[in-house]
Chain A
Amino acid sequence: MTINLPPLRELPADVKERMRPAFTEASTRRSHTPLAVAAAVALLIAGGVAVTHQMTRDADPADGRVVSPSGLDVDRCRAALNDRSWSSSKMVVFGLHKVLVGDDGRFCGLTRSRAIVMSADARPLQMEAGSLVFRSENIIAGVPPLGARQARARELSPGNSSRGSTASVVTPEFFVTYAATGTNVTEMVFDDRTIPVAEGTAPALATKVDSFDSGDGNPWTPANLLARCVDNADRQGTPAEELQGWEPLISTSTTGDRGMSLAHLGHRKWATCTFSQFGADILATVDAGDPDKTVHFSGFHLGSEYTLVGRTNPLAKTIELYSGSTRAAVVDVADGFFIATVPVSTAGTRTGVPDLQVIARSAKNEIVYLGGLG
């Protein structure tokens, strides 16, 4: 008995050249994929091959870049996909962006305040080698060609200038590329092989939904407002390392009205962000100058009120703001910072900002500052 095999074919010359690998030194300097390792391990036991020196397992380029997602990460994706059975054990992280690889092949992107999932009508693109499965502003993901070790998504514009992804992770099972600024994809480059992506054929942009890394679905909590501001700063190009570790300190609204929040980084740096029912601004670090001075450095008008962010003596626990003889507001102070809303009509204004006098008191109710607001 033999297996009824298809007849052998003559290899067409064009196919032969298309398959021919680039035998270049650059290839050998790259670390090796599990596929290559698996093949080599098989060779070690092969009688026809003698190993000339001790072989150690090479580092997979994706090692350390592929981690396990947390239960919360998976739950956020399940909610966004509306599929409680979706599961994932692999995740890639680029700065503030997480990409979970579903066991069923569906990808899910997470930022501090959003989940990004493939829309129901999006169609993966089978390219001449590999496939594109997921596309968002920053992430392109899919299945690489067999043996691929590097991937890059590129956008060629009519002027022949190009931009593209700045980081990637490639495993035998999937690839994920990341672009700090939104990029369309007009071609994929796997190692030295460029594969065009015809206009309109890439999967539809993935859908964004609110999803917060706090696990709380209320978008108006201080933590979630901060998450949204951090995401916006990330989109505007603030380096990810400058956006890590911030925690909410003070927030003026928890109901969706226009407001302002103040965040701290280890009580060493501070940042503000304004928000409204239409969205949030970016997280912007504060340069409040001399910490011993009481100053007003930011604010906004809303109707007949003015909300201001200021800084006073770090020993202060509360601060009272007076417009003339009228006490306009009393608010808590944290790390020397405060946010207060005062009526504009109670005082004359200087360039639209009320002239205010300030009394700052310590936890023992001692006055630690008395004077104007610079």
Chain B
Amino acid sequence: MRLMRPSWEGAAAVSDDAPSDADLWARGDEQAFGELYDRYAEAVWNHAYRLTASWSTAEDLTSATFLTAWRRRTEMTLVPDSALPWLFTVAGNLARSEFRRKARFSRLLLRVPRNDVQRDHADEVASSVDHETRLREVLQAVERLPRAEREAVELVLLGELTTAEAAEVLGVAEVSVRSRISRARTRLRKELPSDTLEVQ
């Protein structure tokens, strides 16, 4: 069995004879979107976490992303085979709204005991907290990037899409995405502590 979309970890494997994302999108019924959800829920959930540094927010964001897809299904046709870049873009937009909203209410909500959904085993908690702290630092730095660079970073560095996929969903040439990523890396290198980055 050949897998159509092996490239993104977290995207469910799909058999060769299964309908493509575009086919499911075109069908637009509950079963078709349920299938799209099964294919990409894990990928979107992980990406949502990387965009928010909160697993509970990632859950809401994942639901909202697929709900947005469902509500918009009749208004657009999915041209590329994979819906994932599109879903990542929606998640990014929703995450920015969530940042603005939380910033506004942060003063009040700081008084509320945190009730994030915690699924870690005890021996994973310290590692998880460390990841979250680092991820929050990264996200704050990404949030300060110019919009074009931020979108590219979210898709390529956080979302681990290829530059070609990001270029397609952003509607720009691949070379532009590479250029944006390069500029963003320079800025991030100046802003982030060295242990937040890995040099390749």
The answer to whether A and B interact is: yes
A262 to B77, CA, bound (A): 65
Chain A contacts of B89 at CB under 8 A? 39, 42-43, 46
- Given A35-B64, A128-B115, answer yes or no on A42-B79 (Cβ-Cβ < 8 Å): no
Is B70 a contact partner of A28 (Cβ separation < 8 A)? yes
A-B contact count (CB 8 A): 218
- Using known A-B contacts A4-B198, A53-B75, determine if residue A45 contacts B171 with beta carbons closer than 8 Å: yes
Q: How far is the CB of A250 from chain B (nearest CB, A)?
A: 46
- Proximity string of chain B (54-95) to chain A, C-beta cutoff 8 Å, 1 when within and 0 when not: 001101111110111011101111111000011001101110
- Residues from chain B with Cβ under 8 Å of A4 in the complex: 134, 138, 195-198
Among A19, A123, A146, point to the contact of B45 (Cβ < 8 A): A19
Residue B34, interface by CB 8 Å: yes
Find out whether the CB atom of A146 lies under 8 angstroms from the CB atom of B33.
no
Query: Is A236 located at the chain interface by the 8 A CB criterion?
Result: no
A1 and B189: CB pair below 8 A? yes
Tell me if B197 and A1 are in contact (CB < 8 A): yes
CA distance A106 to B111 in the complex (A): 12
- Count residues of B near A (Cβ-Cβ below 8 Å): 81
Question: A268 contacts the other chain (Cβ, under 8 Å)?
Answer: no
Q: How far is the CA of A25 from the CA of B135 in the complex (A)?
A: 37
In the complex with contacts A35-B97, A39-B94, A126-B115, A147-B67 CB distance below 8 A: yes
* Other A-B pairs, 11, CB within 8 Å; known A15-B117, A21-B37, A28-B74: A3-B188, A6-B131, A6-B134, A11-B10, A11-B42, A21-B67, A23-B70, A35-B93, A39-B72, A48-B168, A124-B109
- Interface positions of B (Cβ within 8 A of A): 9-10, 30, 33-34, 37, 41-42, 45-46, 49-50, 56-57, 59-64, 66-68, 70-72, 74-80, 85-86, 89-90, 92-94, 97-98, 100-101, 104-109, 111-115, 117, 119, 128, 131-132, 134-135, 138, 157-158, 167-172, 185, 188-189, 192, 195-200
